[in-house]
Amino acid sequence: MRRFWLLITALLASTAAQAAVYPAPSDDSDLIGKTITVEAREADTFVALARRHNVGYRELRLANPDVDPWLPGAGTPVTLPTRYILPDADRRGLVLNIAEMRLYYFPPAGSQYHGKVITYPLGIGREGWDTPLGRTTITRTAADPTWTPPESIREEHAEAGDPLPRVVPPGPDNPLGRHALYLGFPAYLLHGTNKPAGIGLRVSHGCIRLYPEDIAALYSMIDPGTPVTIVNQPYKTGWHAGELYLEAHPPDADGKGRVDSYTPLVQSVINATRNRPDTPIDWELAESAGTRQHGMPEAIGGTRLTASD
């Protein structure tokens, strides 16, 4: 199994893409990037496509529900959901939205990337091991970190017949990968992984995983003291060119698209239009987007709707 993961890591790393870097939007806009379509190659899978284009596995599944993730087929169009509404949070430091499993970095003044937004897909805590929400900072950074598994994780592995040592040294068996950014939340950190196929899934014990090349790039830009905001926003709303957009992600931990209540969606729209109370909203479009939850921004109101009346 270890040799299998090493082979997968090496193969995927050879086609890994660079992070998405976008100009920071103006004060009256909340959208970055654009949605594009690519053609799958003969041997492609969604795991390979996700890493090549720097998106998460589930993002591809949501955007392409009718495509076989393990055998798309040569020439099959695959939508890359690479247009994003920025989360409703201060645009500084690191902003992580658990619902979409994505990180946004807003570099500070003095950085060569100031005025840009850099975004990466994430692997996050599975059900029962939720990643904590709130505000904190990066307390320290480490290259080639050692891992000291918490007792609860060691017990879990022992019960599964896969005992862990008390300390895991740097190397291919270290689940932290080559770089780690430690959070002010005790025992939580952003780190690489020796299993990159898990990016875009809920697979960790609460820590936040990035592709090895992404954490290496982020590590080179981040200093201790960088602010970190972690939110859970399955419904994001934002403005662009006078139109209101909605981006919906599955709100449940298993990611199966279950909608128990539209109240959070409605509240998100209300918050977005608080200073524009006369904005016309197409609630049928909003409900449709909230039901499909494909993770791509859709216009649900604003100037275009007014012009068509």
Nearest residue to 9 (alpha-carbon basis) of 199, 219, 145: 199
207 catalytically annotated: yes
249 catalytically annotated: no
Which string of DSSP letters, residue by residue, matches the chain? -HHHHHHHHHHHHTTPPPPEEEEPPPTT--EEE--EEEEPPTT--HHHHHHHTT--HHHHHHH-TTS-SS---TT-EEEE--EEEPPSS-SSEEEEETTTTEEEEEPPTTSTTTTEEEEEE-BEEPTTSPPPPEEEEEEEEEES--B---HHHHHHHHHTT----SSB-SSTT-TTTTEEEEESSTT-EEE--S-GGGTTSEEESS-EE--HHHHHHHHHH--TT-EEEEE--SEEEEEETTEEEEEE---STT-S---S-SHHHHHHHHHHTTT-TT--B-HHHHHHHHHH--SS-EEEEEHHHHHH-
Write down the catalytic residue from 207, 240, 249, 294. 207
Write down the catalytic residue from 191, 240, 249, 294. 191
> Is 123:175 a contact under the CB 8 Å cutoff?
no
Residues classed as catalytic: 191, 207
